[in-house]
Amino acid sequence: MSFYSSLAAFFWQATDSLNTSSDSLYLWIALAVGLLGLIAALVFARSVLSSDTGTADMQRISDAIRQGAEAFMRRQYGTIAMIAVALAIILYLGYRLSPFTAPYANKVVISFLIGATCSALAGQTGMWVSIRSNIRTASAARTSLGKALQIALRGGAVTGLIVVALSLLGVGVLFLLFGGLQHPQETPFKLVGFGFGASLVALFAQLGGGIYTKAADVGADLVGKVEAGIPEDDPRNPAVIADLVGDNVGDCAGRGADIFESTAAENVGAMILGAALYPVFGIKGILFPLIVQAINLIASIIGVSIVHSKEDEDPMHALNRGYYVTSILALVGFAVAVYYMLQGRWWLLGCGICGIITSFLFVRITEYYTETRFRPVQSIAKASLTGPATNIISGIAVGMETPAVPVIVIGCALLFSYYFGTRGLADVSTISEYSKGIYGTAIATMGMLSSAAYILAMDTFGPITDNAGGIIEMSNQPHDIREKTDKLDAAGNTTKALTKGYAIGSASLAAFLLFSAYLEAIHDIVSQRLAAAGEVLPASWSFSNVNLASVPVFVGALLGAMLTYLFSSMAIKAVGRAAQTVIQDVHQQFKENPGIMEGTSQPDYGRCVHIVTGAALKEMVLPGVLAVAMPLAVGVIFRHFSSTFNLKELADSPTIHGIPVNLSGAEAVAALLMVGTISGILLAMLMNNGGGAWDNAKKFIETGQYGGKRSEAHKAAVVGDTVGDPFKDTAGPSLHVLIKLLATVTLVLAPLFV
């Protein structure tokens, strides 16, 4: 069947599905709410764009930021598109080569391309609004702090709503087109390409944006603050516009792609596990994740709409009120969905509550390690009194401390949700205890992501207010206006740190969910291939235990742990090399044009933006390709060479006419995924929270502590912050994406490993 005839068949199935049972109503509700989310995003965007755009000087700076960000995004997504098309061709050929996978080739490639397109579209449209919200936030700050806060949050909400809505619509429409209402148990496995496409774009968007933003930031700080002794966002610094551009491409587009990937992968993984419970819940158990995302959209729209702040109020108080309202509404909606879709099994609601509590705790733990009023940040600031070396030692120690409590929280969430899952389905004898418990952990992941749109709005609020402060500073506005934007910027720094904690927490639960989905996928593949050979899979056999004593498994585990460190090294070195090009350009401009420091002539901002753009895009390719190629190489190599190396097979492997099924490749990849996830989670926590603590230790000193700005302690803190920058904004966030990409790529390639 050709590609076009396949596509025509999908649309025919979608039309035919209108006549199916009333349970399909839940799918239509989810799709309708997805459209509502896009409409709400449009309303918020119109509200923001209708606001005042400030003075001519403010507009000139804003235009430079916008042009630099748009130029970077065009080049970045052009590069990503070429990589995605090449992978789509490889994926198609890989599926066509096997008679078992050939029938699914078209659907997997279509879903892969749609997932990549939706992810790119979410990042592009969200940033299109955010880079136009900064000037409007800056202008509103001249008259009202509360109005400026509303504009910045609603500009961020456009990103959050579009990301979650497109994820919901993408998965929902594909489920419909692939015949999900006629064959609900089979269809979720055909959606894995969507998660892979989303993961691929997310990795390159986060990695490229992270390299760009930190290369510009490190270059601007070292030459500006340390060497030239000029303030942050000083117009005499040739790298200042590149730095402000980086806030958008790293935090807006990059984090948007990260959360898009989390929601897409969670939807697909939970639907796969829901298919195993089809005898209990029917199609409702499969569609439940989509309804939870629909609830997320409605709760987040209300949460954003109610946020307002008094002129003398801490902006974080207003943002937290919106978060609490969103979480409460999400919990109520979750309970209603459990009642109607999961037969009112309230133990399963407990799983969702575990996820919501985990989300809250991760935000608070991150706040403790990154806020200036707590011990970790203050200890790094105090260590700066004796120089950069002690600052760095203290910062690394704090970073290594940070995974301890979050790991306990994740462990408790998984244990409790697994237990609640088994209790909620205790009366069902046809489903294994493992399947019951794993579905409970899937519901916990849904609970954690049930406020994702609002969390992402808070995250994008950060770069918008950061840019607004830069625009006010560079256009020489009065000091009292800068004080207002400083309050917003401080809140934005907090929200950016908190959402990084939220992202790694959600990645942790989602990764376990996807690992479970991979095991279920291998079980389903083995069952199908035995059936094709005229044999039946023994009911007692499952692919839920991976033997660490097996050589392929142990080697796969080592490679998984190694991958996270090698990937992080490549990302950090990429920042260092790109930052060197920025520093060289700034030095060159100071040398060529002495009038820059005297304030009599303008730097060439565009030249610096162009240089760092080219460097970032060049540096992002190799780490990204490594992340995609490693699982494929491990699975295929161990599958084809296990007999050559006389590697022991599982003792209880099923047989086809007496010949054991070769599971060495599948087992090795399972180990790579499992240990790579564990290693990646711990390393990401270290980098995110350690880097955030370094950053805020510098800001703590800038408030006047330990000598304030330009003191020796401040110079030491700037060096520490420079070390922490690629930790918290490049390698750390990219690791969130890496561990989910490993899961989605193994799901897509699973048929090639058996």
Asked, for residue 78, whether it belongs to a domain, the answer is yes
Range of the domain at 494: 3-536+546-648+658-752
Backbone region of residue 374 per phi and psi (left: phi > 0; alpha: psi in -120 to 50; beta: other values):
beta
According to the model, what pLDDT value does residue 20 have? 44
DSSP assignment letter at 183: S
pLDDT band at 2 (very low <50, low <70, confident <90, very high): very low
pLDDT tens digits, one per residue of 693-744: 898 888 889 888 888 887 889 889 988 988 888 888 888 888 877 887 888 7
CB-based contact 414:440 (threshold 8 Å):
no
pLDDT exceeds 60 at position 256:
yes
Amino acid at 686: L
According to the model, what pLDDT value does residue 649 have? 43
pLDDT exceeds 70 at position 514:
yes
Asked, for residue 355, whether it belongs to a domain, the answer is yes
99-103, 122-126, 252-256: range with highest mean pLDDT = 122-126
Asked, for residue 498, whether it belongs to a domain, the answer is yes
pLDDT exceeds 80 at position 574:
yes
According to the model, what pLDDT value does residue 351 have? 92
Asked, for residue 511, whether it belongs to a domain, the answer is yes
State CA 210 to chain mean position distance: 12
Asked, for residue 541, whether it belongs to a domain, the answer is no
The mean pLDDT of 595-602, rounded to a whole number, is: 74
pLDDT band at 309 (very low <50, low <70, confident <90, very high): confident
Q: How far apart are alpha carbons 729 and 248 in whole angstroms?
A: 12
Residues 6+ away with beta carbon under 8 Å from 458? 153, 156, 319, 323, 495, 498, 499
Asked, for residue 673, whether it belongs to a domain, the answer is yes
Give this prediction's pTM. 0.83
Q: How far apart are alpha carbons 740 and 515 in whole angstroms?
A: 9
According to the model, what pLDDT value does residue 232 have? 59
Give the angle 218-679-203 at the CA atoms, nearest 5°: 55
According to the model, what pLDDT value does residue 540 have? 67
pLDDT exceeds 70 at position 240:
yes
pLDDT tens digits, one per residue of 168-209: 999 999 998 888 788 888 888 778 888 888 888 887 887 787
Asked, for residue 411, whether it belongs to a domain, the answer is yes
pLDDT tens digits, one per residue of 61-110: 888 888 888 888 888 888 888 888 988 898 888 888 777 777 778 888 88
Count the domains in the chain: 1
Asked, for residue 165, whether it belongs to a domain, the answer is yes
pLDDT band at 632 (very low <50, low <70, confident <90, very high): confident
